């Protein structure tokens, strides 16, 4: 079923927004089946708007929290796409209706942004993973529902991949998260074990303890990414290729992080990296075992 012209224009608007924002990981890329690019972009815009409310809105915390709760209520009550005037919401309503997506996954995303307003420290890795369950895992689950591949095995692999990608994002934004939002997503008990304090994040101190702490974080993210990598072979066609590219993109960012002396420097992928990602994504489908991610 093709959307009406106004809904098609709403999807085109979402695709332009998704394409205009730099991401180290593919967003609604041309690797996806054409019929899924607009819906993925609509979900991206929802997440981007929630992120902007939490992190870019200069208003009081109470107002931002209320705005995010309004987003949650609105997504739960979406009905006829034609009743929505804003293109992002029209496209999202059509996506939810056509693909019968669980609205709870979108409210979970907003929950994570609400948590960001108040919680800035994580006592242990369990707390970090609980955050990933709402901030990252819903995105992968939504993709599986869009492609009608939401089996228990695929969902488990998707959760591992999405949590790993969320961790990698934390690892590449250490100083920015602290400087702009006073957040530290590295577990406090692990910081203490390596003799790392908040001063390391404030002053960008990449000493022996800090580098060892982060190498430990990188290895754990790598294991998690590998645990979910079979998902790229389990999914058919272009969806599988997209997932393999996302996994290889995350692995490449992780590899660049591992090579840096300055753990606070944010790596950016270049043309050569993207060519390597694409090549490995194609090769990974032909191999029986999970190829080297880094």
Query: What confidence tens digit (pLDDT) does each residue in 45-58 have?
Result: 999 999 999 998 88
- CATH architecture of residue range(s) 1-118: Orthogonal Bundle (1.10)
Q: What percent of the chain has pLDDT over 70?
A: 92
- Residue-wise pLDDT tens digits, 238-259: 888 888 988 999 999 999 999 9
Q: Read off the pLDDT band of 26 (50, 70, 90).
A: very low
Q: Above 70 in pLDDT, residue 163?
A: yes
Average model confidence (pLDDT) across the chain: 91
Q: Residue 30: what pLDDT?
A: 66
Q: Is the pLDDT of residue 268 over 90?
A: no
Q: How far is Cα of residue 268 from the mean position of the Cα atoms in its chain?
A: 16
On whether the 120-294 domain is CATH 1.10.600.10, my answer is yes
pLDDT tens-digit readout, 101-122: 999 999 999 999 999 999 999 9
The yes-or-no answer to whether 1-118 and 120-294 have a common fold is yes
Q: According to the model, what pLDDT value does residue 157 have?
A: 98
Window from 113-117, 187-191, 264-268 with minimum mean pLDDT:
264-268
Looking at residue 284, its pLDDT comes to 65
How do residues 208-227 score in pLDDT, each as one tens digit? 999 999 999 999 999 999 99
pLDDT at 237 over 90: no
Q: Which residue has the higher pLDDT, 261 or 30?
A: 261
pLDDT at 128: 98
Query: Can you give the residue ranges of every domain in the chain?
Result: 1-118, 120-294
Give the global pTM.
Answer: 0.88
pLDDT in the model for residue 229: 94
Q: Tokens 């929950």: give the residue.
A: 111
């Amino acid at each position: 079923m093709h959307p009406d012209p106004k809904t098609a224009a709403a999807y085109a608007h979402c695709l332009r927004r998704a394409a205009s924002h730099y991401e180290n990981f593919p967003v609604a890329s041309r690797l996806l089946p054409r019929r899924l690019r607009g819906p993925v972009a609509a979900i991206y815009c929802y997440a981007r708007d929630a992120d902007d409310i939490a992190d870019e809105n200069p208003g009081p915390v109470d107002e931002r929290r209320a705005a995010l709760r309004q987003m949650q209520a609105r997504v739960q009550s979406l009905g006829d796409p034609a009743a929505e005037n804003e293109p992002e919401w029209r496209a999202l309503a059509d996506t939810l209706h056509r693909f019968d997506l669980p609205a709870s996954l979108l409210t979970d995303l907003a929950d994570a942004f609400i948590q960001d307003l108040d919680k800035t420290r994580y006592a242990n890795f369990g707390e970090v993973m609980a955050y990933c369950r709402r901030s990252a895992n819903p995105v992968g689950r939504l993709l599986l529902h869009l492609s009608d591949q939401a089996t228990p095995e695929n969902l488990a692999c998707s959760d591992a991949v999405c949590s790993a990608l969320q961790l990698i994002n934390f690892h590449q934004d250490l100083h920015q998260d602290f400087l702009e939002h006073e957040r530290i997503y590295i577990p406090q008990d692990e910081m203490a074990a390596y003799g790392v304090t908040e001063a390391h994040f404030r002053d960008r101190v990449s000493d022996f303890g800090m580098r060892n702490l982060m190498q430990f974080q990188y290895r754990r993210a790598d294991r998690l990414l590998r645990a979910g990598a079979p998902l790229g072979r389990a999914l058919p066609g272009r969806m599988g290729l997209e997932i393999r590219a996302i996994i290889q993109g995350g692995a490449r960012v992780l590899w660049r992080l591992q090579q840096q002396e300055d753990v606070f420097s944010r790596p950016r992928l270049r043309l050569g990296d993207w060519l390597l990602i694409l090549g490995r994504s194609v090769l990974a489908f032909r191999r029986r075992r999970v190829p080297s991610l880094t």
